[in-house]
A and B are shown apart, each in its own frame.
Chain A
Amino acid sequence: MTQIFSPAADTWLRLFLVSLAALAAGSVVFAVGMARSDWYTDTRMHPAAQPVPFSHKHHAGQLGIDCRYCHASVAEGPHAGLPPTHTCMTCHSQVWTTAPMLAPVRASLADKAPLDWHRVARVPDYVYFRHDIHVAKGVGCVECHGRVDTMALTYRAVPLTMQFCLDCHRDPAPRLRPKSEITSMTWTPPKDATAARELGHRLMRAYGIRTGDITHCNVCHR
C-alpha cells in the first residue's frame, strides 16, 4: 500500500496551523487598529465636499467672527445650529455679492431652498449629544472641533469615539476653561501642571459638575 502522506506533510500541516493562528491574531490586531485608525474614524482626513467651499480659517481666524454668530443656538439647545442663509447674506449682500463661489448661497435665498451641507462632526444616531450643557460647563469649542480657525476647509479634528467622550466624562478637569474663553481657539491652560490641575478642579466646583454619574449609559444613550 502506498503512503498517502509525503514526508513533508507533517511540516506543511504545522505550517498551516501556525499561519492560521497568525492570521486569526492578525485579523484581531488589524480590526482593532482599523477601528481606531484615523481613516476609519475619518479624523484629520480630507474634508467633506460642501456646496460652498466655506473657510473657517477666513471667517473665524482672519476675520475673527465669533463662533456663536453663526452657530447661534450652541448655548441654548442640543444642536449648535447651522446658520440660516439669511445669516450668510447679512454680510454677503454687501461683500462678494457677485462671487461665483457664493452662487449656491444666493440661489438658496432666491429659491428659499436650504443649503445642503455635509456634517463634519457627527456622532452615531444612538448618541444624544447636547451642546448647551457642555458650553455651560466650560468645555471649549476647540476641545471637540479642533483649531477650526486654521482650517481652510473643515475636517474632523478628533475621532469622536466613545473612548474620546468617556475620557473627558471620567476626568473633566483638564478639559475645562473659564466661560469667557469658551470660543477661544488659542486659550491654553497654565503651563505648570499643578496649576492647570488646580484650575480644572476649581472650575469643576464652580460649575457644579457631577462626577461619577455622568458616565452611565443613559446620559448619552436612551
Chain B
Amino acid sequence: MSAAPRTGFDLEAARRRLREEGGRRFWTSVDELTDDAGFRARLSAEFPSAAAMIDAPARRQFLKLMGASLLLTGTAACGDNRSDRARPYVDQPEGLVPGVPRRYATAVTLEGYAQPVLATTYDGRPTKLDGNPDHPATRGKSDAFMQAAIFGLYDPERSKEPTRNGETTTWGAVAAALVAARTRWQANGGEGLRFVMRRTTSPTLQRQFNALFREFPAARVHFSDAVGADERDAATTASFGRPLEIHYALDACDVVVSVDDDLVGPGPQQVRNALAWSTRRGDIAPGQGRTRLHAAESLPSLTGTVASTRLPANPSQMMPLLLAIAAALGATSARAPAPSGHGEAWVRRAVADLRRHAGRGLVTAGAHLDPRLQSLAFAINAHLGNVGQTVFYTEPVHAAFDQAQPLDALAEDIAAGAVNTLVVLDANPAYDAAGARRLRDLIPKVATRIHAGLYRDETASLCAWHLPLAHALESWSDARAVDGTASIVQPVIAPLYSTRNIHQIVEMLNGEIEPVADSAVRETWRRTFGEHFDARWRQSLHDGFVGGSQAQPVSVGASAPSPIEAEASTGALEIVFRPDPTVWDGRFANIAWLQELPKPVTKITWDNVVAISPTLADKLHFANGQIVEVTAGDAKVKGPVWIVPGQAGNTVALYLGYGRRAGGEISRGIGYDAFALRPSRDRWCTHGRILRVEGSATVATTQAHHRMDGFDFVREVTADAPRTPPPKDQSSFYPEWNGAAHAWGMTIDLDRCIGCNACIAACNVENNVAVVGKDQVARGREMLWLRVDRYYEGDIENPRAFFQPVPCMHCEKAPCEMGCPVHATVHSPEGLNQMVYNRCIGTRTCSSYCPYKVRRFNWYDYRKFGEADRAAKNPDVTVRSRGVMEKCTYCTQRIQAAHVAADKENRALRDGDIVTACQQACPTTAITFGDIKDPNAGVSQRRESGRHYVLLEEVGTRPRTTYLARWRDDGEAT
C-alpha cells in the first residue's frame, strides 16, 4: 500500500474498525465503518434535522428569525378557515351512511397479475386498499405497490383528456379517426397494424383481441415488458415443450435452495411466497423441523436476509453452483467444476439438506437467469421427487396470443417500412424496452401512432394520438392472480377525468363508437357463467374473485435439461439489472410517496444508485455518492456509486425505473436511465467497465436517521439457547397508572419480518403521513411513523442482515410525556401514548426525550395539496399542520371505531376487533396487536413464546411494543 492517504473506501480499515469494537457489534452503514468525520459529527448533533437551517454568520440572522418567529407564532393561531358549509345529496344513494366507510372487493394489477384488494371508500372516495382476506392466493395481505395504487388513482399529473398532436380533442374525434382507420385495415386485412402492450392476464382482453385478429388476420401484437418472464417461459418451453407457470409451495418445504431467486422480494409473487414461507417457518422451536433456506445471490435481497445461509456469488458463478448441486445429487451427467472457497461449503450444506428432505425440498433459480440454468433447477426438483409436493406446474396464467411477436421484430419491421399503424396500449416501449433508444428514433417513422396510457410518457410524446386510460380503480376489467384465480375488477369511483378503460379502447378498435364501460367484461363472463350469469356475476363481484378458478396443476414429463457446461469466467465486471424495489420498472415513478419509501436494503429514497461491492470499492477507491460512469458496449450511464455490504465482489447493480424523460414532474430528472445500457438479448446481465468521473451527489438515505443509543437492538435465539433472558426488574419512581379494562400492546416477530415495507406503506396511507421530498429526507425529516431499521453484523463482504420495524413503543413510563410542557402527549387509561395535535406548540422536547426516536416533526406545512390529493386522505385522521409533532398512534382511530361498534352492541371488545394498518398489511404476520391483559389474545401468547424481549430494556420505559427474537439456524444441518 502506498504511503499517500487513501481516498475512497478502504476495506482493511473498515475491517479493522469492526475488529476493534470487539464482541457482537451491529452496524448500519458503510460510512459508520469508514469512520468519516462528517458522519460522526452528523450523528452526534442533538438535532441533525435542525442543523442546516441557519448558515454562518448566524447571530444577527438568528435574532431576526427569533423575532419574526415570536411575532408569527401569535398570528399562526389566528384565523378560522373551517368551512361551515354542509351540502346534502339531492338523491342519496340507497344504503349510504355519511361518514361510514364501505368496502368493495376489486383488484389492481402488477406485471399483469391481479392483486386482490378490498377498497375502503368514504362517501364515494376510495381512501385505502387492503388485501382481500377471502382470496386464496393472498389471504388479505399486501405489498407496497398495492397500497400505493390509491395515490396512482389521485395522481394530479395523470392524463386527463384525449389529445392529438398535443392539442385537446374529444373522444368523438378519436372514434371518427378509428372508424376511418378501420376502413383501411379492412381493405388489407390489417397489414401493417401493430399493437404494443404489456403481458396481460385479462380474459376479456384476450377475447377482444381474438375478435380483432379474426377481422384483421395480418395484424400483430408485440409484448413489451421491462421485467416480464421471457427467460422463465424459454426455460419451461425448453424443459416441457410449452410455456408453463411455476408455483412454489413454500409452506410445504423443509429446505429451500435459492439460486439468485428473490422469492420474498418485491414483485407479483412476493405476497404469496412470503405468506407461505412464514406459515411454514411459523412459531416452532429449533429441532422441530424448521424450514431452512440456502441462498446464493449476487445482490443482497430480502430472501438472502432471511436465509439460513447466504452466499454472495457473481452472476457467472450461478451456473457452476447449480451444476455442482445437480452433479452431487446425480441429477445431471454434466461435468461440474468444484466451486471455490465458501461456495464449496454452501453447496455441501445445500446438497445434504436437499438429500435428507427429498420430496420436501425445493431448488429455485431466479426467473431472470439463463433458461438453461432454470431448466436444470426443474430437473433437480424432478429428480428429488419435489414436483407435486413443493413445486407445481400449471398452464400459463398470462393470456396467450397467436399473433404475438417479440418486440425486436417491431423495430425491424418499422425500419423495413412494413408498419403503418402503431397502437401502444398501456405500455412504454420508448422508455423501458431494451432497445428503447432505437425505438425512439423509429416510432416517429410510423404513419399512424396511437398511445393509450395513464401518463403522457416517453412513448406518448412520440405518438400523435394520446388516449388517457382510466386507472384500475376506475375501471371495469378482469385479471388473474398469481395462482390463476380470476378476479372481476370493478370500479370503486367514477372516472375522475375524461378517461376510458382499456377494454373500451379495444372495443373502439373493434368498431364501437361509444362502448359502455362494463359491456366487454360482462360479455366475457356471460360466456363463462352461462345461464347462471346473474347470480355468479354478483357473487364474484361481492367476493372479489371467481370461485374455483385457480390454475390446476398439470403433470409434466421430466425432460433432461439441455446440456450445459460451466463457462469460464472472463473476469470482466458483471453488470446486473434489477427492477427498482419501490418504483419497479418506472411505471410507479410519478408516485411521490413510493419515491420516498426507503428501498428495503439500501434505505435510499428518491434515487437509484450504482450499487457496488465493498471489494470493488476498495479496489477502485470509490466512496459513497461519488459519480461514476458505467459503460457497456457503446452505451454509458452516470450515477452515484453506493457500496452495498454483502454484494458479490465483481458485480455492479443498476436499478431500472429512473431517469424518466416524460410522464410527470415527480418522475422526471431523478436518477439515471439504466435501460440505456440494457442489452436486448440476455437482458439481466452484461459486461462492462466502471469509471470515476467528476462530482458527487447527495443520496438521501434514511439508514443513519433516527438512531437509538444502546445495544442489542436485535436479538437472536439458537437451538442451544432457545429463550431470551427473563425480563429485568423495571422499578420506577413514577406512580403506576390506573389501568382500564384493556391494555393495548404489540409484538413484532423478527423471525418473520422480511423487511418488505408493506407495513410502512399501509401506515402511510391509513394515517395521512406526509411526503416531504428528497431535500428534506436528506436532512432527516422524513415523516414515516414506522421505520424499518436494517442492521448488519459481521464481515462487510458477507454480513448477516436484520430488519427491525420500529413504531412508537407506547411506553408505560414514557419520557416524552414527562418532557412535554403543554401536556400535548399524555397517557391513556388503555396504555396509549396519545398525541394531541391541537395542544402541541412544537418545542420538540418529546422527540429529544424519546430513546427510540419515533417522533416526527412537521417542519413545514406539508398539506398544500390539490383537490385530488385531498380526496385521498383518511377522514378519520387529522391532517397535521406545520409545527406539530406526530407519531404512531397504534391506529387509535381504529381502536375508537372498534370501541364504538362494541359499545353500540353493548358487548366487550374481542381479540381481533382491532387490527392496526401495519398488522393488516404484513404478509408474514410478523405484527400482532391486541390486549395484553387478555391471556388468550394472540399478542399475549406471542409474549409468552420464550423469544420475547424489550427494546432498550435498560432505559426502563416499559414499552408496550415488544419484539420476538430471531431464530439463528445457520449451523450445520440438523
Point out residues on A near B: beta carbons under 8 Å.
Answer: 48, 73, 76-79, 81-86, 108-109, 112-119, 122, 124-126, 128, 130, 132-133, 136-137, 207-208, 210, 212-213, 216-219, 221-222
Closest 5 CB pairs of A and B: A82-B88, A114-B87, A77-B97, A78-B99, A84-B89
Given known pairs A116-B85, A221-B838, the reply for A85 and B90 (CB within 8 Å) is: yes
Asked if residues A217 and B826 are in contact (CB atoms below 8 Å), the reply is yes
- Report Cα–Cα, A108/B892, bound state, in Å: 39
In the complex, residue of chain A having the shortest beta-carbon distance to the beta carbon of B100: A77
- Report Cα–Cα, A212/B738, bound state, in Å: 10
| Interface window among B217-225, B354-362, B900-908, B962-970 | B900-908
Given known pairs A79-B98, A222-B893, the reply for A136 and B904 (CB within 8 Å) is: yes
Asked if residues B92 and A118 are in contact (CB atoms below 8 Å), the reply is no
**Residues of A close to B92: CB separation below 8 A:** 84, 86
- Identify which of A109, A119, A133, A212 contacts B900 (C-beta below 8 A): A133
Asked if residues A130 and B828 are in contact (CB atoms below 8 Å), the reply is no
Asked if residues A219 and B86 are in contact (CB atoms below 8 Å), the reply is no
Q: How far is the CB of A74 from chain B (nearest CB, A)?
A: 10
- Report Cα–Cα, A114/B91, bound state, in Å: 9
In the complex, residue of chain B having the shortest beta-carbon distance to the beta carbon of A118: B84
Asked if residues A218 and B892 are in contact (CB atoms below 8 Å), the reply is yes
Asked if residues B98 and A218 are in contact (CB atoms below 8 Å), the reply is no
- Identify which of A113, A117, A222 contacts B90 (C-beta below 8 A): A113
Given known pairs A81-B98, A82-B86, A126-B838, the reply for A218 and B903 (CB within 8 Å) is: no
**Residues of B close to A212: CB separation below 8 A:** 738, 740, 829
Asked if residues A222 and B99 are in contact (CB atoms below 8 Å), the reply is no
Q: What string of 1s and 0s marks CB contacts (under 8 Å) between B811-835 and chain A?
A: 0000000000000001011101010
Asked if residues A118 and B86 are in contact (CB atoms below 8 Å), the reply is yes
- Report Cα–Cα, A48/B738, bound state, in Å: 45
Given known pairs A218-B889, A222-B877, A222-B878, the reply for A114 and B90 (CB within 8 Å) is: yes
B344 on the A face (CB < 8 A): no
In the complex, residue of chain B having the shortest beta-carbon distance to the beta carbon of A108: B90
Asked if residues B88 and A130 are in contact (CB atoms below 8 Å), the reply is no
Asked if residues B90 and A109 are in contact (CB atoms below 8 Å), the reply is yes
In the complex, residue of chain A having the shortest beta-carbon distance to the beta carbon of B826: A217
- Report Cα–Cα, A118/B83, bound state, in Å: 9
Asked if residues A216 and B829 are in contact (CB atoms below 8 Å), the reply is yes
B876 on the A face (CB < 8 A): yes
B864 on the A face (CB < 8 A): no
**Residues of B close to A77: CB separation below 8 A:** 97-100
Asked if residues B838 and A86 are in contact (CB atoms below 8 Å), the reply is no
17 new A-B contacts at CB < 8 Å, known A76-B97, A109-B90: A77-B98, A81-B98, A84-B91, A85-B91, A114-B88, A115-B88, A116-B87, A117-B86, A124-B838, A125-B878, A210-B741, A216-B826, A217-B834, A217-B836, A218-B892, A221-B836, A222-B892
**Residues of B close to A207: CB separation below 8 A:** 906
Q: What string of 1s and 0s marks CB contacts (under 8 Å) between B851-894 and chain A?
A: 00000000000000000000000001110000000000100110
Asked if residues B88 and A85 are in contact (CB atoms below 8 Å), the reply is yes
- Identify which of A48, A109, A136, A219 contacts B896 (C-beta below 8 A): A219
- Report Cα–Cα, A34/B292, bound state, in Å: 71
Asked if residues A218 and B828 are in contact (CB atoms below 8 Å), the reply is yes
Asked if residues A137 and B100 are in contact (CB atoms below 8 Å), the reply is no
Sample of 24 A–B contacts (CB below 8 Å): A73-B98, A78-B100, A79-B98, A82-B86, A84-B91, A84-B92, A86-B91, A109-B90, A114-B90, A115-B87, A117-B86, A122-B84, A124-B82, A128-B876, A130-B900, A132-B904, A133-B904, A136-B904, A213-B740, A217-B828, A219-B896, A221-B836, A221-B837, A222-B876
Interface size range of chain B in the complex: 35 or more
Asked if residues B97 and A84 are in contact (CB atoms below 8 Å), the reply is no
**Residues of B close to A133: CB separation below 8 A:** 900, 903-904
Asked if residues B832 and A218 are in contact (CB atoms below 8 Å), the reply is yes
Which residues in chain B, 915-964, are within 8 Å of chain A measured between CB atoms? none
In the complex, residue of chain B having the shortest beta-carbon distance to the beta carbon of A122: B84
Asked if residues B896 and A119 are in contact (CB atoms below 8 Å), the reply is no
**Residues of A close to B906: CB separation below 8 A:** 207-208
Q: How far is the CB of B183 from chain A (nearest CB, A)?
A: 40
Given known pairs A109-B90, A207-B906, the reply for A222 and B896 (CB within 8 Å) is: yes
Q: How far is the CB of B90 from chain A (nearest CB, A)?
A: 4
- Report Cα–Cα, A73/B89, bound state, in Å: 13
- Report Cα–Cα, A84/B896, bound state, in Å: 29
- Report Cα–Cα, A116/B99, bound state, in Å: 18
Q: What string of 1s and 0s marks CB contacts (under 8 Å) between B309-350 and chain A?
A: 000000000000000000000000000000000000000000
**Residues of A close to B877: CB separation below 8 A:** 222
- Report Cα–Cα, A149/B731, bound state, in Å: 59
- Identify which of B85, B97, B830, B904 contacts A118 (C-beta below 8 A): B85
Given known pairs A132-B904, A213-B830, the reply for A117 and B85 (CB within 8 Å) is: yes
- Report Cα–Cα, A122/B876, bound state, in Å: 16
Q: How far is the CB of A34 from chain B (nearest CB, A)?
A: 14
Asked if residues B100 and A117 are in contact (CB atoms below 8 Å), the reply is no
In the complex, residue of chain A having the shortest beta-carbon distance to the beta carbon of B832: A218
Q: What string of 1s and 0s marks CB contacts (under 8 Å) between B725-768 and chain A?
A: 00000000000001011000000000000000000000000000
- Report Cα–Cα, A85/B90, bound state, in Å: 4
**Residues of A close to B99: CB separation below 8 A:** 73, 77-79
**Residues of B close to A219: CB separation below 8 A:** 896
Q: How far is the CB of B812 from chain A (nearest CB, A)?
A: 15
In the complex, residue of chain A having the shortest beta-carbon distance to the beta carbon of B96: A73
**Residues of B close to A114: CB separation below 8 A:** 87-90
Asked if residues B834 and A216 are in contact (CB atoms below 8 Å), the reply is yes
Asked if residues A84 and B88 are in contact (CB atoms below 8 Å), the reply is yes
**Residues of B close to A119: CB separation below 8 A:** 84-86
- Report Cα–Cα, A212/B741, bound state, in Å: 10
In the complex, residue of chain B having the shortest beta-carbon distance to the beta carbon of A110: B90
**Residues of A close to B738: CB separation below 8 A:** 212
**Residues of B close to A217: CB separation below 8 A:** 826, 828, 834, 836
- Report Cα–Cα, A222/B836, bound state, in Å: 7
Asked if residues A216 and B87 are in contact (CB atoms below 8 Å), the reply is no
Q: How far is the CB of B533 from chain A (nearest CB, A)?
A: 32
Q: How far is the CB of A197 from chain B (nearest CB, A)?
A: 22
In the complex, residue of chain A having the shortest beta-carbon distance to the beta carbon of B889: A222
- Report Cα–Cα, A132/B899, bound state, in Å: 12
In the complex, residue of chain B having the shortest beta-carbon distance to the beta carbon of A81: B98
**Residues of A close to B828: CB separation below 8 A:** 213, 216-218
Asked if residues B903 and A137 are in contact (CB atoms below 8 Å), the reply is yes
Q: How far is the CB of A219 from chain B (nearest CB, A)?
A: 7
- Report Cα–Cα, A73/B740, bound state, in Å: 31
Asked if residues A218 and B838 are in contact (CB atoms below 8 Å), the reply is no
- Report Cα–Cα, A85/B88, bound state, in Å: 8
- Report Cα–Cα, A108/B90, bound state, in Å: 7
- Identify which of B90, B100, B837 contacts A126 (C-beta below 8 A): B837
- Report Cα–Cα, A152/B452, bound state, in Å: 58
Asked if residues A83 and B88 are in contact (CB atoms below 8 Å), the reply is yes
**Residues of A close to B90: CB separation below 8 A:** 84-86, 108-109, 112-114
Asked if residues A132 and B900 are in contact (CB atoms below 8 Å), the reply is yes
**Residues of B close to A116: CB separation below 8 A:** 85, 87
In the complex, residue of chain A having the shortest beta-carbon distance to the beta carbon of B890: A218
- Most chain A beta-carbon neighbours within 10 Å: one of B98, B877, B889, B900: B98
**Residues of A close to B97: CB separation below 8 A:** 73, 76-77, 81
In the complex, residue of chain B having the shortest beta-carbon distance to the beta carbon of A208: B906
In the complex, residue of chain B having the shortest beta-carbon distance to the beta carbon of A131: B99
Q: How far is the CB of B397 from chain A (nearest CB, A)?
A: 41
- Report Cα–Cα, A84/B828, bound state, in Å: 39
- Report Cα–Cα, A128/B829, bound state, in Å: 19
- Identify which of A81, A118, A136, A222 contacts B903 (C-beta below 8 A): A136
Q: How far is the CB of B94 from chain A (nearest CB, A)?
A: 11
Asked if residues B88 and A76 are in contact (CB atoms below 8 Å), the reply is no
- Report Cα–Cα, A210/B906, bound state, in Å: 10
- Report Cα–Cα, A113/B91, bound state, in Å: 10
- Report Cα–Cα, A78/B537, bound state, in Å: 33
- Most chain B beta-carbon neighbours within 10 Å: one of A113, A136, A213: A213
**Residues of B close to A136: CB separation below 8 A:** 903-904
**Residues of A close to B892: CB separation below 8 A:** 218, 222
